[in-house]
């Protein structure tokens, strides 16, 4: 067989080894279905079979999910319905075997792989760091349609299962054991031998008795009291709509499928899954999110040359950004030298790093030994002398060119000729920083996003003088830190900051014109951004936002994009943003901040005193949310197109990845370039020209967009 190998292990135990011959990971595809059916026929026809074990022939993964490429072949909803119905039938056969069926899991068991394991009677998982279980289909605009919405709630309870499916969160083996998803956790070594020894234990427990929900538990109420069930799912839908604003149809369909199965039979639930999958596969949201998945995967494999070996990374500055860079570097296995100007600042930085690793222990992502090992890789220092051991030094000091020039010279005095100096600036051109360098070919930009430990993107900025080995090494370091890396050319604001700045400044202009802070942020959140632009300015810090905008003033001056004077008055008033607990919003702690009410969200109060700093602004003017969305989003997309036209980014793929993973551009739209294709260049240019006539030159469409409109062209083929 191509995908399966069946072996007898004695005493009536059969092992089925899963092995995709054309990839390093196992995925489920339609090509496997006939072969899996043949395996089940063979097992069912042998009366000597006493137990069946599904195990991967690969040493680091079980089944990582469905082969997403299969979905691109779906042209009609009925195709998807037929495909998933065949999968249901195969899993139902596994579940109906009159002897124990065991899934032996080592490495990722995700999506369709977990649905496969859920159809087995028992699950053994190794405590390998690579072993994770989850149903992440929602991240692709889909739902777990292979029985996941039915079997998981019945196994661990709907109140645990629904949040897992709606977030796509992964569980490690021990957390899966605590929730009831896994029966045993074992060491990863000689898994097949371990499973064989456990088979008698599972034979005694078969057929498995279902204890059902505990009396008076939430799951019991949902399962047996229809009014309680209706209320629970009504609140779940309300919460989903609050979080997604209806932009992710898969989330509501997922809730529908779970409720259908609990209100009726599991067969009803399977039917609901099959009927829901086809329209979701063909939806523009899923197509956009799948395209992001493929682009992200391709970026991880993209070659940038041969990197030099790196063992030690120096980090200059122990503030919020610097400590985050140090933490992800240590998490990647690098020795880290963290420098600041005082032991007090270093102590605070080390405390933040410890909290990061300790939080991973509490979330079962690391064990205490792994936490201590990672933390021990960080060494604090007050002088540059220790940097002589570093192959890469990353500076995260204040956004001031004189300070950056000074630290660059100090680092070069203490390091070797091959040491790479990387700046974490978000706006200052790297070529300006490199002017102070004796070795400008070693200077590069590594722009991280806040908070560093959570944000997935790293924007690497190349100057014309930057050496190829320096680029290759910076990319390798970023990937080892766990980042999705894009490479852009140098210029004010690079790519991400450059396209974000007009977006945020237009929001401030709208406040000047009479729009309320809440309606601006609300409109952009309804469009699909997780955070509104004014809340984002608070998070970044208004002082930082003004400084960054000032760095781009010269670039934008000819297009009437400028920093509103009201921002300077806001700074003078001491409204600095979240770090000072007051900005566009009031962040003063209140006792109800910790409250979480299902289906309801508690919002931060607006700082109404800020309106008085905007001068003679109109009062009571109400803006159409579409007007707000169009003005802000068009400016961002137009700037992205200009960046592509000028060569700041080399491909639309880099632009979409950068906007989605760095700036929170709505994933269901696929990024600014994918959205421009969907929206149409002709329509975009026409609407921007009307805005330019009404509001000024900042809305003049980029020449590349005008050319595409005239030639009916797209950024992506088809």
Instruction: Please list the active-site residues.
Output: 459
CB 500 within 8 Å of CB 663: yes
Distance (Å) of CA 287 to CA 10, 15, 64, 213, 290: 47, 37, 20, 38, 5
Alpha helices in 214-342 (DSSP H): 218-224, 226-244, 249-263, 266-281, 284-301, 320-331
> What is the helix (H) or strand (E) element at residue 420, kind and residue range?
strand 420-423
The upper half-sphere exposure of residue 614, i.e. CA atoms within 13 Å in the direction of its Cβ, equals: 20
Tokens standing for residue 616: 């003679």
Tokens of residue 450, six digits:
């806040």
What stretches of 468-570 adopt beta strand conformation (E)? Answer: 484-489
Half-sphere exposure of 669 (CA within 13 A, CB side): 23
Torsional sign, CA 357, 360, 365, 366: positive
395 φ/ψ angles, rounded to the nearest 5 degrees: -95, 140
- Length of the chain as a residue count: 718
Adjacent-strand bridge partners of 40: none
Q: What residues form DSSP beta bridges with 105? A: 125
Alpha helices in 302-414 (DSSP H): 320-331, 343-362, 368-376, 401-414
Are the C-beta atoms of 160 and 100 separated by less than 8 Å? Answer: no
Query: Do 20 and 3 form a contact (C-beta atoms < 8 A)?
Result: yes
Q: How far is CA 637 from its chain centroid?
A: 21
- Whole-number Å distance between alpha carbons of 501 and 478: 25
Question: What's the CA gap between 530 and 515, in Å, rounded?
Answer: 20
How far, CA to CA in Å, does 301 sit from each of 140, 296, 307, 453, 715? 20, 9, 14, 22, 22
**Structure-token pair, residue 455:** 């944000």
Q: Cα(first)–Cα(last) distance of the chain, in Å?
A: 37
Phi, psi torsion values for 564, nearest 5 degrees? -60, 140
Please tell me the distance from the alpha carbon of residue 164 to that of residue 139, in angstroms, as a whole number: 12
- Cα–Cα dist 466/458, whole Å: 18
CA triplet 122, 124, 130: central angle to 5 degrees? 140
Quote the tokens at residue 37.
């059916």
């Amino acid at each position: 067989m191509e995908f399966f190998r069946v072996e007898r292990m004695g005493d009536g135990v059969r092992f089925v080894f899963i092995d995709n011959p054309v990839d390093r990971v196992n995925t489920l595809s339609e090509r496997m279905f006939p072969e899996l059916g043949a395996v089940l026929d063979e097992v069912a026809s042998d009366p000597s079979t006493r137990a069946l074990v599904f195990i991967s022939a690969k040493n680091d993964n079980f089944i990582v999910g469905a082969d997403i490429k299969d979905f691109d072949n779906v042209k009609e909803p009925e195709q998807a319905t037929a495909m998933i119905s065949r999968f249901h039938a195969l899993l139902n056969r596994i579940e109906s075997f009159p002897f124990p069926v065991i899934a032996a899991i080592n490495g990722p068991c995700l999506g369709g792989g977990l649905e496969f394991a859920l159809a087995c009677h028992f699950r053994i998982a190794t405590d390998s760091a690579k072993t994770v279980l989850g149903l992440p289909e929602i991240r692709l605009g889909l739902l777990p349609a292979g029985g996941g919405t039915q079997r998981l709630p019945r196994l661990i309870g709907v109140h645990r299962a629904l949040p897992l499916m709606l977030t796509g969160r992964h569980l490690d083996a021990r957390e899966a054991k605590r929730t009831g998803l896994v029966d045993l956790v074992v060491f990863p070594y000689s898994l097949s031998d371990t499973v064989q020894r456990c088979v008698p234990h599972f034979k005694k427990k078969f057929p498995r008795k279902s204890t059902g929900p505990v009396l008076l538990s939430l799951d019991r109420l949902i399962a047996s009291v229809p009014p309680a069930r209706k209320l629970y799912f009504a609140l779940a839908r309300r919460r989903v709509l609050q979080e997604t604003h209806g932009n992710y149809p898969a989330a509501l369909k997922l809730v529908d499928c779970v409720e259908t199965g609990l209100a009726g039979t599991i067969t009803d639930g399977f039917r609901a899954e099959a009927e829901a999958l086809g329209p979701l596969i063909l939806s523009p949201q899923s197509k956009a999110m799948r395209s992001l998945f493929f682009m992200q995967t391709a970026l991880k494999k993209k070659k940038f040359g041969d990197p030099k070996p790196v063992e030690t990374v120096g980090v200059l500055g122990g503030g919020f950004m610097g400590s985050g860079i140090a933490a992800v570097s240590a998490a990647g296995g690098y020795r880290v030298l963290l420098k600041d100007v005082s032991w007090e600042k270093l102590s605070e930085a080390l405390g933040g790093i410890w909290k990061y690793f300790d939080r991973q222990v509490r979330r079962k992502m690391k064990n205490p030994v792994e936490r201590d090992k990672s933390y021990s890789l960080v060494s604090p220092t007050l002088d540059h002398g220790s940097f002589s051991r570093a192959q890469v030094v990353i500076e995260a000091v204040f956004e001031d060119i004189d300070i950056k020039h000074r630290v660059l010279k100090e680092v070069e005095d203490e390091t070797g000729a091959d040491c790479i100096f990387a700046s974490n600036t978000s706006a200052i051109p790297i070529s300006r920083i490199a002017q102070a360098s004796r070795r400008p070919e070693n200077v590069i930009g590594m722009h991280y996003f806040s908070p560093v430990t959570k944000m997935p993107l790293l924007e690497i900025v190349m100057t014309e003088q930057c050496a190829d080995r320096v680029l290759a090494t910076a990319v390798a370091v970023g990937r080892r830190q766990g980042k999705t890396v894009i490479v852009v050319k140098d210029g004010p604001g690079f790519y991400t900051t450059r396209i974000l700045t007009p977006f945020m400044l237009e929001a401030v202009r709208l406040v000047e014109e009479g729009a309320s802070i809440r309606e601006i942020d609300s409109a952009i959140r309804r469009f699909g951004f997780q955070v509104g632009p004014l809340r984002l300015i608070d998070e970044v810090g208004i002082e930082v936002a003004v400084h960054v905008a000032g760095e781009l003033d010269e670039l934008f001056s000819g297009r009437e994009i400028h920093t509103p004077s009201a921002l300077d008055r806001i700074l003078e008033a001491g409204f600095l943003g979240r770090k000072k607990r007051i900005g566009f919003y009031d962040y003063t702690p209140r006792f109800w901040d910790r409250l979480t009410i299902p289906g309801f969200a508690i919002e931060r109060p607006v700082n109404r005193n800020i309106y008085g700093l905007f001068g003679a602004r109109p009062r009571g003017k109400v803006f159409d949310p579409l007007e707000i969305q169009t003005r802000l989003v068009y400016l961002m997309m137009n700037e992205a197109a200009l960046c592509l036209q000028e060569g700041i980014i080399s491909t639309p793929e880099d632009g979409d990845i950068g906007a989605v993973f760095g700036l929170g551009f709505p994933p269901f739209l696929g990024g600014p370039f994918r959205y421009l294709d969907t929206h149409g260049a002709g329509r975009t240019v026409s609407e921007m020209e009307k805005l330019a006539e009404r509001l000024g030159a900042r809305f003049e469409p980029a020449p590349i967009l005008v050319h595409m409109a005239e030639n009916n062209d797209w950024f992506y083929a088809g």
